[in-house]
């Protein structure tokens, strides 16, 4: 990581973009440019920023990455729902010799929760009579369902818990088989994000829950990732940043 703070650009000036700008200013990080639908990235311009932070829409990700990587800019990618294009995006980053950090959730607290979820699922392999499910709640404007974070949690559970091998994300009619992890989604009001694991047996219930109070945790993590990726090349997951922090 470079010692100096990177200059950043914000791609997408919605609620997250504004939160990143506010926190960057508080940390002394200079925001050189803000891009949105009316002021897109111009591949014919020379920009002064080091790292672009993208919280836009899944359908915009590939084009944004192609433009930014073509300008030799590193990227923090906080948008979800683009994993079907992962190979193409990785190829772009590698061919342009730039760097990218991506995650379904840039909250450091959620990264901590990911590790708790994985350890809990691993412990369940040693126990009989327990079952586990996953639920998430977000504001009514959220477009993807389940959330990218819920999908990551589900992947972690399936990897660590031998008794589950698939997910059910839709409404169920009738019984659910023991090998299926049920993932539920609800949309209401202005909820920033609640993710919960429910572990149940005949004797007791254990609930692990992460509740985002606001967007500052996501913005803080994105800026941490921007500092980390500055000057690096390659395709990284945010958990690699935290692995380095927590080693």
* Catalytic center residues: 138, 142
Residue 73 in tokens = 């800019």
Q: Categorise residue 224: left if φ over 0, alpha if ψ from -120 to 50, beta otherwise.
A: alpha
**What gap in Å lies between CA 239 and CA 243, rounded to an integer?**
6
Radius of gyration of the CA atoms of the chain, in A: 19
- Residue 91: count other Cβ atoms within 10 Å of its Cβ: 11
- Mapping DSSP to helix (H, G, I), strand (E, B) and coil, where does residue 235 land? strand
Which DSSP string corresponds to 38-56? SS---TTS----SEEEE-S
């Amino acid at each position: 990581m470079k010692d100096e703070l990177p200059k950043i650009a914000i791609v997408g000036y919605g609620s997250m973009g504004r939160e990143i700008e506010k926190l960057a200013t508080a940390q002394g990080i200079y925001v050189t440019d803000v891009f949105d639908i009316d002021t897109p990235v111009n591949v014919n311009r020379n920009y002064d920023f080091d790292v672009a932070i993208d919280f836009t829409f899944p359908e915009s990700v590939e084009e944004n990455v192609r433009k930014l990587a073509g300008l030799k800019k590193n990227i923090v990618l906080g948008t979800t729902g683009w994993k079907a294009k992962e190979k193409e995006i990785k190829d772009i980053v590698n061919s342009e010799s730039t760097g990218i950090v991506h995650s379904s959730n840039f909250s450091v607290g959620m990264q901590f929760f990911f590790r708790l979820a994985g350890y809990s699922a691993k412990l369940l392999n040693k126990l009989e009579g327990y079952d586990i499910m996953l639920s998430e709640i977000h504001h009514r404007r959220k477009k993807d369902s389940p959330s990218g974070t819920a999908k990551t949690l589900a992947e972690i559970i399936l990897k660590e818990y031998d008794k589950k091998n698939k997910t059910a994300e839709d409404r169920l009619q009738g019984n659910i088989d023991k090998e299926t992890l049920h993932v539920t989604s609800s949309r209401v009001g202005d909820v920033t994000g609640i993710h919960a694991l429910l572990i149940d047996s005949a004797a007791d219930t254990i609930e692990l829950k992460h509740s985002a109070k606001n967007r500052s945790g996501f913005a803080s993590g994105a800026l941490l990732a921007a500092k980390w990726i500055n000057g690096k090349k390659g395709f990284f997951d945010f958990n690699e940043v935290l692995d380095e922090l927590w080693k």
